[in-house]
Structures are given as C-alpha cells and as structure tokens.
C-alpha cells in the first residue's frame, strides 16, 4: 500500500493569561464537512515551506496575528479520515505568544476565546477529545498519535511519548 498522507498543521493559540484558547467555530460555509464544529487553526502545508512556516502562515491567514513563540506538542496520523477517507498527518502546535489583535472571524467561521476547561463541552471532531488533553497537559515531551477512522468515526487511538 502506497502511503502519501496530506501534511497539515493544527494550532492552539493561548491567550496571554494562558487560560483560554482561540478556536474557530466552523459556521460560515454550509458545504463545510466540519460545519458546526470547533477546531484549532491550521491547514495544508505548501510544497515550498517547512511545517513551522506552515503553522505561522496559517495563524496569520486565519487569525490575523503573528506567532512570536510556539512549541510542537505532537503529531497525529489519521488514516481513512473525513468524507473522502484520506490519510492525514497533523503537526500540532501550541502558540504561546503572539503579536497583534486576533480578528473575530474568518472564511471558516467565528473566532472565539474559549476557556481551556470548557473544551470538552464543545462540538468537535470526536477524535480530538483523545489528543487535546495532551496538548495542554504541560508534559514537555511531544506525543505522537495514531487514530484510524472508518465512516467518519475514530476506531482506535494510541500514542507514544518518550
């Protein structure tokens, strides 16, 4: 089997007090397969950039702010993900410092500051609930997860942290 995943980033921007995170409520496009869900910011890596440059660009495009400091919190390998059953690898970053004022919306939906403790209450991809605690847990070691999907649902979750 030839494995050629879509390379992507997913970033969680912390507020200056580190108690809230900037999330996009995907409510702008009726044809969006993520319609109604909350998600971090990010997207596809371009052929001419490294993964960190991709994250910085995506944060700039989606929130209108400049990343000053960020850390790689982990990676997730999703196989069979989404309506098209594609394979994805996401590099997940925590944006710990930024400059500028975040916009209030973008082409995907409304940008909202959400208390980290409220994240489990939000509608989101079911699989995100498995790795989100690792993004915010304070362990300095990055995690590297695998989450196969079938019929738009996760059917497993495992991760390594060394």
Q: For 32-73, write each residue's pLDDT tens digit.
A: 777 789 999 999 999 999 999 999 999 999 999 999 999 999
Residue 65: predicted pLDDT: 98
Note whether residue 75 is domain-resident.
yes
pLDDT at 83 exceeding the cut of 80: no
Residue 33: predicted pLDDT: 79
Residue 28: predicted pLDDT: 83
Residues in the chain, overall count: 162
Q: What's the domain count of the chain?
A: 1
3-state secondary structure of 26: coil
Confidence of residue 82 (pLDDT cuts 50, 70, 90): confident
Q: Please list the helix, strand and coil fractions of the chain in percent, rounded to the nearest 5, in that order.
A: 15, 45, 40
Residue 114: predicted pLDDT: 98
Domain extent at residue 120? 6-160
Residue 84: predicted pLDDT: 84
Confidence of residue 121 (pLDDT cuts 50, 70, 90): very high
- Listed residue (151, 43, 154) closest to 92, CA to CA: 43
R_g over Cα of the chain: 15
pLDDT at 80 exceeding the cut of 90: yes
* Domain containing residue 155: CATH number: 3.90.79.10
Residue 116: predicted pLDDT: 97
pTM as predicted: 0.94
Note whether residue 1 is domain-resident.
no
Note whether residue 22 is domain-resident.
yes
Note whether residue 33 is domain-resident.
yes
Q: Could you tell me the CA-to-CA distances from 5 to 87, 99, 141 in Å, in that order?
A: 5, 32, 24
């Amino acid at each position: 089997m030839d494995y050629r995943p879509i390379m992507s980033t997913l970033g969680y921007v912390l507020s200056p007090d580190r108690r809230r995170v900037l999330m996009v409520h995907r409510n702008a496009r009726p044809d969006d397969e993520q319609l109604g869900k909350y998600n971090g910011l990010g997207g596809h890596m371009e052929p001419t950039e490294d993964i960190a440059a991709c994250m910085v660009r995506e944060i700039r495009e989606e929130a209108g702010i400049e990343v000053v400091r960020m850390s790689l919190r982990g990676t997730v390998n999703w196989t069979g993900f989404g309506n098209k059953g594609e394979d994805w690898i996401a590099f997940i970053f925590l944006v710990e410092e930024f400059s500028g004022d975040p916009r209030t919306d973008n082409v995907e939906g409304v940008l909202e500051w959400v208390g980290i403790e409220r994240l489990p209450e939000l509608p989101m991809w079911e699989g995100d609930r498995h790795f989100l605690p690792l993004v915010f847990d304070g362990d300095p070691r990055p995690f590297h997860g695998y989450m196969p999907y079938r019929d738009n649902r996760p059917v497993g979750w495992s991760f390594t942290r060394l």
